[in-house]
Amino acid sequence: MHADMSSQQLKHPLLKLNAEGYIETALQIASPNFDARPDDCGINMIVIHNISLPPNKYAGSGVAQLFTNTLNPAEHPYYAEVYMHKVSSHFFIRRTGELVQFVSTLQRAWHAGVSQWQGRERCNDFSIGIELEGSDFEAFEAAQYKMLNNLIELLKKTYSIQHIVGHSDIAPGRKTDPGPYFNWQHVNLK
C-alpha cells in the first residue's frame, strides 16, 4: 500500500444493502454463476481474494467477462486456460476503489471452490466473496482498503460475520490469495 491508513481515510459515504441483497451504489453486473444457499445455512464468513485478468494487468474488462461467461479465449493466452470456468464473486473492488457487484449477497456465488474452514466444507454456502483487483506480486491501493473496510462494516451490520479470511486460509495449498502483499493490518477485523 502506498499510504498509511489514517482514521480520516477510513471515513466513507454510507453503503446500504437493499432487501434483495444488492448495494445500489455499486456497479451492477449480473453473473449467471450462482445458485441458492442451503436453507439451514447462515452467512457468517467473508472470504477475501485477489484477481487480475490478464494476470497482473488492471483496469480491463477481463474479470467481468470471466464472471459473466463472456471471456474470449483468443484475446489472451491465459484466457484460453480459464474461459470455461464457471466462477463468480459477490463483489469486486477495483484498484480505484470502485465497487462492482456480480451476485446478491442472498445467493451463493461460486468463489471459494473446494474449501473448508474449521472442519466445515463448502465455504460458498456460508460466505460472501470479495475480490480485490490485484495479484500476489504487488501491494493493494489505499482506495481498495477503504472500500473493503466500508463493505466489511456493512456486512457485519447485516449478517452474523464471525470470520474474515483469505482464500488461502480455506483452500491451503491450492490458493495463495489475497497474497503476501495484502496487509491484514489495514483491515477492520473487529
Which of 86, 64, 63, 82 has its CA nearest to residue 73? 82
Q: How many CB atoms lie within 10 A of CB 157?
A: 10
pLDDT (0 to 100) of residue 13: 57
What Å distances lie between residue 28 and 24, 31, 75, 160, CA to CA?
A: 8, 9, 24, 24
Distance separating alpha carbons of residues 173 and 81, to the nearest angstrom:
20
Which of 133, 134, 132, 87 has its CA nearest to residue 111? 87
pLDDT (0 to 100) of residue 188: 87
Architecture of the domain defined by 7-186: 3-Layer(aba) Sandwich (3.40)
Query: Is 81 labeled as catalytic in the residue annotation?
Result: no
For residues 180, 163, 121 and 55, what is the CA-based torsion angle, rounded to 10 degrees? Answer: -30
Per-residue tens of pLDDT for the chain, all 190 residues: 333 333 333 344 579 999 999 999 999 999 999 999 999 889 999 999 999 999 999 999 999 999 999 999 999 999 999 999 999 999 999 999 999 999 999 999 999 999 999 999 999 999 999 999 999 999 999 999 999 999 999 999 999 999 999 999 999 999 999 999 999 999 988 7
Where are the domains positioned within the chain? 7-186
Catalytic member of 98, 121, 131, 133: 131
Give ∠ CA 146-149-155 in degrees, rounded to 5. 145
